[in-house]
Structure 1
Amino acid sequence: MAADKNSKKANLLEHHSIKHILDESVAEIVKSKGYPEDLRMSNIRLLIGAIIIIIALFAQFYIKKFPDNRNFLLGCIGLYIVFNGMLQLTIYLKEKNAILFTYPPNGSFNTTGLVVTSKLPRFSDMYTLIIGSADPQSIASKPPVEFTKTVTRWFTKEGVLVEGLFWNDVEALVNEYAKETKKTK
């Protein structure tokens, strides 16, 4: 009965539930392989979001009433639009479908971490997992590796994730990316 409490269960009829459980498990697996999580992008998003909230609070609780605070409100609306645009641009250009950014493992000679990306198109059972370099322009970066497999491999009919099977597939992909490429003369 204790195994049932710890098992991850998804609603098989809900696309986001399946993807959420798989993405959470991928993050656990990658971190367990010695890749510390890089939270800088999350912190930048939180900072921009906090600035947006502060701007909205200033606009809401400004001392003067409406006709007198018209210019102040226009300034707040302009700043709100600018910072919200920055937030959306950051998400669109930098994060894309990324579920995890990492630093290189401790003791590694590699200077770049990983970016782990996943896709599960709506009305599809094909889950794509891509592992690539967090800095593709770096001399230490390697070509990304990926797999596309059906989610029916990893879930029971009741919607419980068979973690051992999923763990093996993700671990094999991480190992494939991490293996050293042999240089030829």
Structure 2
Amino acid sequence: MQGKKAEEGTKNAKKVNLFDHNSLKHMLDESVSEIVTSRGYVEDARMSNVRLFIGTVIIVIALFAEFYKKKFPGNRDFLIGCIGSVTSTGLVVSSKLPRFSDLYTLNIKSGDPRSISAGKPVEFSKSVTQWFTKDGVLVEGLFWKDVEALIDDYLGEPKKKK
């Protein structure tokens, strides 16, 4: 019976190959996404969808411009009219894990820094060795604690005493 419980515990554990840089970063990024959404923030996929749509439109425009009757100086106004930008507000969470490095850097900042509700940007850098066992299992409790402390720091909430 004890063996079954131990097996079930390892099935739920997030395990990764410690020598695979991309899978390490992916695992940590997915965990950050879980933590941020558990704090009440909603993941906004609209920006990704807008980027895909804009990319498709740009490809169509590029094809149209390629076969347009006029060459570059003549179609300049048409091309300028096709350029635009999209802005968004909200929480921006980004991470870095440089190749051949064990330092994972997590940044949290406002999507609109000019907003009154925007907090000051915060970040931390820690070695991934602090969150993984020798077998490559993510110790979620430690990682959640660090990420939640960073979110609290961004929100300006006082640190919790042990």
- The reply to whether residue 164 of structure 1 matches residue 141 of structure 2 is yes
Provide the C-alpha distance between the structure 1 equivalents of 2:13 and 2:57, rounded to a whole number of angstroms.
39
TM-superposed deviation, 1:49 = 3.9
Equivalent positions of 1:15-94 (< 5 A) are 15-51=21-57, 55=60, 74-75=66-67
Residue of structure 2 equivalent to 1:4: 10
Note the aligned Cα RMSD (angstroms). 2.8
- Normalised to the residue count of structure 1, the TM-score between the two structures is 0.65
Q: How many residues align?
A: 138
- The reply to whether residue 151 of structure 1 matches residue 128 of structure 2 is yes
Identity of aligned residues (%): 61
- Normalised to the residue count of structure 2, the TM-score between the two structures is 0.73
In 2, are the aligned partners of 1:127 and 1:148 still within 8 Å (CA)? Answer: yes
Residue of structure 1 equivalent to 2:153: 176
Provide the C-alpha distance between the structure 2 equivalents of 1:148 and 1:138, rounded to a whole number of angstroms.
26
Provide the C-alpha distance between the structure 2 equivalents of 1:123 and 1:132, rounded to a whole number of angstroms.
26
Provide the C-alpha distance between the structure 2 equivalents of 1:74 and 1:50, rounded to a whole number of angstroms.
15
TM-superposed deviation, 1:73 = 9.1
Provide the C-alpha distance between the structure 2 equivalents of 1:143 and 1:28, rounded to a whole number of angstroms.
22
Equivalent AA in structure 2 for residue 11 of structure 1:
N
Provide the C-alpha distance between the structure 1 equivalents of 2:97 and 2:48, rounded to a whole number of angstroms.
22
